[in-house]
Chains A and B, each alone.
Chain A
Amino acid sequence: MNFDLTWMAWTWPTAAFFGTILLLLCGMAAWEYASPGGNPRVGVLRFETTRGDRLFLSLLGSAFIHLAWLGLVGSNLWWALALSVVYAIGVFRYV
């Protein structure tokens, strides 16, 4: 069998991006194993969310933060990344 993946046009930055997502999912699985049930609660959005919902909101929000930064500020995304981390902490703490 030929496992040539050059057609997928991999680069180190995109591999690191997907590796981070995979690590996050593994971390969430380990968290769920250690504390089953998903920790459902009602936060500032006034509806019940589990920690899986919070991760989804964090990732989706981070994607839009990066896009907004690119569109409004410029191509240096380190500040957008920092803002996304702060946003994700906020989501996990208050949503």
Chain B
Amino acid sequence: MEKTWNNKAWFLVLPVLVLVAFSAVIPLMTVVNYSVQDTFGNNVFFWAGTEWFEELLSSSRFWEAMVRNLIFSFIILAIEVPLGIFIALNMPKKGWGVPVCLVLMALPLLIPWNVVGTIWQVFGRNDIGLLGYYVNALGIDYNYVQDPFDAWVTVIIMDVWHWTSLVVLLCYAGLVSIPDAFYQAAKIDGASRWAVFRYIQLPKMNRVLLIAVLLRFMDSFMIYTEPFVVTGGGPGNSTTFLSIDLVKTALGQFDLGPAAAMSLVYFLIVLLLSWVFYTVMTNYDAER
């Protein structure tokens, strides 16, 4: 039977196109326009050409924030992905434990980001915070307000606490979709626990892991609220990530041109790294 071509179906995509245009394309175009101009307010702009990009690319402040952000994302992925898989593998698959675990796992995800920051800001304090007080009582010198290493540890533990659940829930969804026949076949073959994980569970989780890695990478690379609430980017600039630096430039200093140039470079890097992650993981999946 010959396929009927009907281009009217394109109209079904129109609402999404309009939504994306207003939420992403038009703001992005405005940022591009800002990035080549300067303003002192009142919607009056002066042509600056590529000046802001040149300034940005030679700015050590920008590159330091970029390196901090990449290190942070790498650590986050290195902890949250294996930990998420481990928890998902050990969660019950049947019985009353399933809803209990799912609700417990979903709880951190339901808390607003600024509230998470506030919780950990208080939790880590030396004087009134449960964590800060008892860690110091154990003889460990912990002070996230003064020590850059402690600030990093606090921000990383906070992110792991907040977002590992997402990896767990995605992996769990992948695991429960594996038919019992796979496990029965593995049992007949006398497969070890590791072999079951390596050749059945991991390949079946591949797609959800792709989503988890992409989401966690993009979120951690664009992280703003939680570290801003906990450390304000300090001590010094030790936890000033790209987005914090960007907001300081755009809103603190009202340098819209340099901030727009920084946004574009930031956007291009996120786009490139996401494409690399997506391509590597989908091709790995296709090869299998």
Contacts and interface: CB of A to CB of B under 8 A. Distances in A.
Interface of A: 6-11, 13-14, 17-18, 47-48, 56, 60, 63-64, 67, 70-71, 75, 77
Interface in B134-189: none
B58 interface: yes
B45 A67 contact: no
B99 to A, nearest CB: 41
B43 A71 contact: no
Interface in B46-80: 47, 49-51, 53-54, 57-58
Nearest to A8: B30
A8 B29 contact: yes
A19 to B, nearest CB: 11
Interface string B253-288: 000000000000100100110010001000100100
A14 B37 CA distance: 11
A18 B33 CA distance: 10
B26 interface: yes
Contacts of B32: 14, 17-18
Contact of A47 (B30, B271, B275, B279): B279
A47 to B, nearest CB: 5
B30 to A, nearest CB: 5
A56 B275 CA distance: 10
A9 B54 contact: no
A63 B269 CA distance: 10
A13 B50 contact: no
Nearest to A45: B279
Please give me the 6 A-B residue pairs with the lowest Cβ-Cβ distance, nearest first: A71-B57, A9-B33, A47-B283, A8-B30, A9-B45, A14-B33
B26 A67 contact: no
A60 B275 contact: yes
Given A9-B33, A11-B36, A64 B268 contact: yes
Given A70-B57, A71-B54, A8 B268 contact: no
B57 A67 contact: yes
Given A70-B53, A71-B54, A75-B50, A11 B268 contact: no
B34 interface: yes
A71 B50 contact: no
Given A8-B26, A47-B279, A47-B283, A67 B268 contact: yes
B285 to A, nearest CB: 11
A21 B33 CA distance: 15
A73 to B, nearest CB: 10
Interface in B188-232: none
Contacts of B58: 71
Contacts of B34: 9
A10 B26 CA distance: 12
Nearest to A47: B283
A60 B275 CA distance: 10
Contacts of B283: 47
Given A60-B268, A60-B271, A60-B272, A70 B33 contact: no
